[in-house]
Amino acid sequence: MPQDWKEILMGRFGGELASIEAEEAAEAPAAAFRKQRFVVSIDRRRRAGKQVTMITGFTGGEDELQELGKQLKIRLGTGGSVKDGEILIQGDVRDKAVSLLKEMGHEAKRGN
């Protein structure tokens, strides 16, 4: 008797499961950005004393910036926005943001 849930599903649905996995793999390609240089700093201006992590230095299209901002917010588990060519992440997550950007293949340095 199969113990793995994948084996159970393969026994019941056969080829349908393989086609679903192939479709999912085709739909979600990893977003590839060209190498960028970022400065990750903290900002408190005009925010009633609340801290945001500001990522500046992006050169490229607005769609690429939106996608990078989305990926960073998801991986950091915080909210934020993308405005005026900058990525704003809620809270002080400078060290985590620098390490994630380096992991993605970009150059990043911690500001202030």
Query: pLDDT digits over 29-52, tens only?
Result: 444 557 889 999 998 888 888 899
- pLDDT score recorded for residue 8: 78
Q: Which two tokens stand for residue 19?
A: 């086609």
The domain spans of the chain are 1-30, 37-110
- pLDDT score recorded for residue 52: 93
- pLDDT score recorded for residue 12: 76
pTM over 0.75: no
What would the CATH number be for the domain defined by 37-110? 3.30.780.10
Does the pLDDT of residue 2 top 70, yes or no? Answer: no
